[in-house]
Amino acid sequence: MEGSTPGDRPLTTAALAGASGYSPQQVRDLERLGVIPPAARAPNNYRRFDNRHVVALRAYRGLATAIGPVVARRTLRELRSLPLDEAAAVVSALHVDLARLRTQALDAVAALRAISTESDPAETAADAMSIGRLAEALGLRTSTLRFWEREGLVLPERVTSYGARRYPQHAIREARITVALRAAGYGIPAVRRTLDTVRALGHVDGPVEALQGRLADIARRTVALVAAGADVAALIGELEQGGQAGGQVPRNGNTIP
């Protein structure tokens, strides 16, 4: 193209794939899903991409690492249809969600460590709790404790001819561990595996280590989200300015080659 610079030249599907690290089919799929803007079409109906698409694919890669591919796809589609203030709020909420996950994991670690340091005096009948008392102490519904029992998470004893539940110290401990792990986002199967380990080994070191791994994963995802921020900001800014096709999209003060 006469008078154009390399950054102004349209990109074929293969060229965009090479620039972004995706395959040509992935590029076509992501266009179809609305993750990147629709490509212009040449007279021969071949797709013609530009620098906006490079940035959009780079933003998608970073967001997929940070928040998962499904949410990343939904987020990029959403951003393209929102005014600046609402788009900025969507991006801000992603950071808030990761910060919330980190807080939940830290709270769970603190709770498990507190449980592990408690003394284990000789148990008496007076130490056991009814389902109502335990639910109240943990801020739960009694139906939640019944569900956890069915799932094998908390194992009360049955007393009286009516089969009333009685929660001795070990069951109270299991309930507290379950509360901590559920608050940290653990699903029922993961909680069950954790409690099986605690019952077998008698300590919570394994669950604490697992939560430390979760915190490390959240840290990696947060870094990925921060790194994707420049590309996401460029996309939002470009849309706010009217989305001129083929224009240079800045990233950290530089144009995209």
Q: What is the dihedral of CA 47, 78, 52, 98, to 10 degrees?
A: -130
- Token representation of residue 19: 């620039």
Q: Is residue 255 part of a domain?
A: no
Residue 86 and residue 174 share a domain: no
The sign of the CA dihedral 247, 249, 250, 254 is negative
Residue 75 placed within a domain: yes
72-to-35, 49, 156 alpha-carbon distances in Å: 8, 21, 43
Split into its structural domains, the chain has a count of 2
pLDDT recorded at residue 121: 57
Q: Are residues 171 and 222 in the same domain?
A: no
SS3 52: helix
Residues 52 and 138 in one domain: no
Q: Is residue 223 part of a domain?
A: yes
Is the domain of 222 the same as that of 209?
no
For residue 255, what pLDDT is reported? 33
Q: Choose among 141, 191, 147, 146: nearest CA to 165.
A: 146
Q: Compute the distance between CA of residue 125 and CA of residue 162 in angstroms, rounded to an integer.
A: 18
Position 123 scores a pLDDT of: 57
- Segments in the chain below pLDDT 50: 1-6, 243-257
Is position 251 within any domain? no
CA distance 224 to 252: 16
CA neighbor of 256 nearest in space, from 238, 78, 68, 241: 238
| 10 and 92 both lie in a single domain | yes
**pLDDT value at position 256?**
34
Token digits for 52?
């906006």
The predicted pLDDT at position 194 comes to 83
**211 and 119 share a domain?**
yes
Identify whether residues 86 and 112 lie together within a single domain.
Answer: no
C-alpha–C-alpha distance, residues 91 and 62, integer Å: 13
Whether 164 and 206 map to the same domain: the answer is yes
Residues 117 and 148 in one domain: yes
Which pLDDT score, from 0 to 100, does residue 162 have?
64
Residue 84, domain CATH: 1.10.1660.10
Are 203 and 233 part of one and the same domain? Answer: no
CA distances for 100 relative to 104, 125, 151, 218, angstroms: 6, 39, 27, 10
Q: 77 with 115, same domain?
A: no
SS3 state of residue 77: helix
Predicted TM-score (pTM) of this structure = 0.68
Q: Where are the beta strands (DSSP E) in the chain?
A: 40-41, 47-48, 129-130, 157-159, 164-167
3-state secondary structure of 165: strand
Q: Is 165 domain-assigned?
A: yes
Write down the pLDDT at residue 248: 42
Q: Whole domain around residue 36: which residue ranges?
A: 6-97+218-240
- The pLDDT value recorded for residue 8 is 60
**pLDDT score, position 88:** 92
Answer yes or no: do 112 and 200 share one domain.
Answer: yes
Tell whether 19 is covered by a domain.
yes
pLDDT at 1: 34
Q: How far apart are CA 14 and CA 178, in angstroms?
A: 51
